[in-house]
């Protein structure tokens, strides 16, 4: 059974700092891995999708990497801003490819 763990659960950093969020999963036979952002009381916004054949994806100040063999993904945020404050969720698909399995998220707070 696939399980997804995100560390740390919460993170507070000053504006401008570079940071890394970690995600680990127990079953390396995954399809895609997707990183989301969730603001309080809101829905999920897709940030980056890494297909199983890829090793990383970049969008603006965000870079996500995938190492299937070790069961890990990282989300790197460069030059953090207060607007980056949110909960970041990592999710991978179950073996059937029909359902995303989510971690509990990392809640990021960036102070100005």
Partner 1 sequence: NAGVMQNPRHLVRRRGQEARLRCSPMKGHSHVYWYRQLPEEGLKFMVYLQKENIIDESGMPKERFSAEFPKEGPSILRIQQVVRGDSAAYFCASSWGQAGNTGELFFGEGSRLTVL
Q: Does 8 bind partner 1 (CB under 8 A)?
A: no
Candidates 20, 104, 109, 111; binder of partner 1 (CB under 8 A) is 104
Total chain residues near partner 1 (CB under 8 A)? 26
Q: Does 36 bind partner 1 (CB under 8 A)?
A: yes
Integer angstrom CA distances of residue 61 from 35, 88, 98, 99: 14, 15, 30, 28
For partner 1, the binding residues (CB under 8 A) are 31-32, 34, 36, 41-46, 49, 51, 89, 91, 93-94, 96-105
């Amino acid at each position: 059974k696939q399980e997804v763990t995100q560390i740390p659960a919460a993170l507070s950093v000053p504006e401008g700092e570079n940071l890394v969020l970690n995600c680990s999963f127990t079953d390396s036979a995954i399809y895609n891995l997707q990183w989301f952002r969730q603001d309080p009381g809101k829905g999920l916004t897709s940030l980056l999708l890494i297909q199983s054949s890829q090793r990383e994806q970049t969008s603006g100040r965000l870079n996500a990497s995938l190492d299937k063999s070790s069961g890990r993904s990282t989300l790197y945020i460069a030059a953090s801003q207060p607007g980056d404050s949110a909960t970041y969720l990592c999710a991978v698909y179950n073996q059937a490819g029909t359902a995303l399995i989510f971690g509990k998220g990392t809640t990021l707070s960036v102070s100005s």
